[in-house]
Homo-oligomer: A and B are copies of this chain.
Amino acid sequence: MASNTRERIVNTTAELFRRQGYVGTGLKQIVAGADAPFGSVYHFFPGGKEQLGAEVIRVSGQFYEDLVTAVWDAAPDVVTAVADMFAGAAETLRETDYADACPIATVALEVASTNDVLRAATADVFSAWIDAAVDRLTDASIEPAKAREVAIATIALLEGAFILSRATRTTEALEAASQTAVAQVRAALPGSGGRAAGGGRSIAR
């Protein structure tokens, strides 16, 4: 079996990135949390902090995508899926004292104008999320162009609500964003007549 030191380093880094971001997380803090010798970082990641950061972004992005799509695919329809996603995010935020939101957003904003390697890694993650959401929306008979628009807006609503919720330490923003996200998905469904509000529950899948 391969060394799990590398795995511990990646997992510890991922958790620290979520709470403190890329710049605020030191290599010493990482090896302390992972209970690994300092040299291991450069043994497994010769490219140093940047290489470790890029891998953590990709791994965290994939993990989060798997998590969200599992919730999504367990729901009976896309409207419920989106509502469940926001509800789950709110619950996680409360349970973790508003610490564990998106593992990518903080790093994405930090590096967007300062490190193009890491910026590209965050862009790849977001693109993968958008594609996954588009697939599920088009499966629910939403036209591709509209599906992409709705997918992007849904992710934007979630990310933006994370910022507001973590700053204010309430889940109000996630709940407000959920209402809008659900309404726009419902309005995009065929036969909805573009109706955004109202109690009609779609069963489109």
Q: Which residues of A contact B (CB under 8 A)?
A: 19-21, 23-24, 97-99, 105-106, 108-110, 112-114, 119, 122-123, 126-127, 148-150, 152-153, 155-164, 166-169, 172-173, 176-177, 179-180, 183-184, 187, 193-198
Q: Is the CB of B105 within 8 A of A163?
A: yes
CA distance A163 to B10 in the complex (A): 24
Q: Is the CB of B156 within 8 A of A164?
A: yes
CA distance A155 to B163 in the complex (A): 10
| Given known A155-B164, A156-B157, A164-B159, contact A187–B176 (CB-CB < 8 A) | no
Instruction: Count copies of this chain in the complex.
Output: 2
| 23 examples of A-B residue contacts, CB within 8 angstroms | A20-B110, A21-B23, A24-B114, A98-B112, A105-B163, A106-B110, A108-B163, A108-B167, A109-B162, A123-B168, A126-B164, A149-B176, A153-B157, A153-B176, A156-B164, A160-B163, A180-B180, A183-B184, A183-B196, A184-B184, A187-B197, A193-B195, A194-B197
Query: What residues of B have a CB within 8 angstroms of the CB of A119 in the complex?
Result: 166-167, 169
Minimal beta-carbon separation of A160 from chain B (angstroms):
3
